[in-house]
Amino acid sequence: MTAMAHAPLTQADDLLEGFLALETPEGFRAELIEGEIVVTPPPDGDHEDYNSLIVRQVIRRSRTDMDVSGNKGLKLPSGGSCPRTHVIPDLTFAPAELRLFRGAESWMPCDGVALVVEVTSTRPQRDRETKRRCYARGGIPLYLLVDREGSSVTLFSDPEGEDYRQVVTMPFGKPLPLPEPFGFDLETADFL
């Protein structure tokens, strides 16, 4: 009887296995971003207020009926030296007709996601740069960044490779056009 040979686990495999088995304290969020395990505390009230303002506008004003999740884990393609990326955007929007979240496991592929939103918190560079690269690699069409430190909102669109080719930034208080399938101007006056 011959024993079945198993390929040895790589360091990246070990990291992913350890990450997926990680138990975080209640309310904390663990992500595997470009090969680094990142654990963040629960968001503050202002962070959640920005999310609520965005969700209300999308539900009321979007031309396409959207489903939204505030805790959906996304598996994103690897790039460069980062073999695995598992992120949890602050908000994930997908056309309701796709029923993308129904039956999805904790970590799902990003296919069909229309928009992800991040509101900066304790480490804003991660949202401004690292997550932007991850979302672009995943081909997510729209990435909305609410930059609390910069008092601005930025829409990244037209992903190609490691980045987005189109970038529009507006200061808080000015509307930001969201293209189809949303098709409305995101009002940011309440962000002030």
**pTM for the whole structure:** 0.88
Give the pLDDT score at 79: 67
Judge whether 15 and 32 are in contact, CB under 8 Å. Answer: yes
Q: Cα separation of 85 and 134, whole Å? A: 7
Which of 178, 141, 191 is closest to 63 using CA atoms?
A: 178
Q: Where do the domains of the chain lie?
A: 43-191
25: cis peptide before it, omega within 30°?
no
Give the pLDDT score at 6: 60
Give the pLDDT score at 82: 55
What is the SS3 string spanning the chain?
CCCCCCCCCCHHHHHHHHHHHCCCCCCCEEEEECCEEEEECCCCHHHHHHHHHHHHHHHHHCCCCEEEECCCEEEECCECCECCEEECCCEEEEEHHHCCCCCCCCEEECCCCCEEEEECCCCHHHHHHHHHHHHHHCCCCEEEEEECCCCEEEEEEEEECCEEEEEEEEECCCCEEECCCCCEEECCHHHC
Mean pLDDT by 10 residues, the chain (192 residues): 58 69 82 86 94 98 96 84 80 97 95 97 90 95 97 98 97 98 98 96
Give the pLDDT score at 24: 83
Give the pLDDT score at 81: 54
Between strands 85-87 and 73-76, the pairing is antiparallel
Between strands 107-109 and 73-76, the pairing is parallel
Give the pLDDT score at 17: 73
* Domain covering 43-191, topology: tt1808, chain A (3.90.1570)
pLDDT tens readout for residues 20-49: 677 888 888 888 888 888 888 999 999 999
Give the pLDDT score at 1: 47
Give the pLDDT score at 2: 47
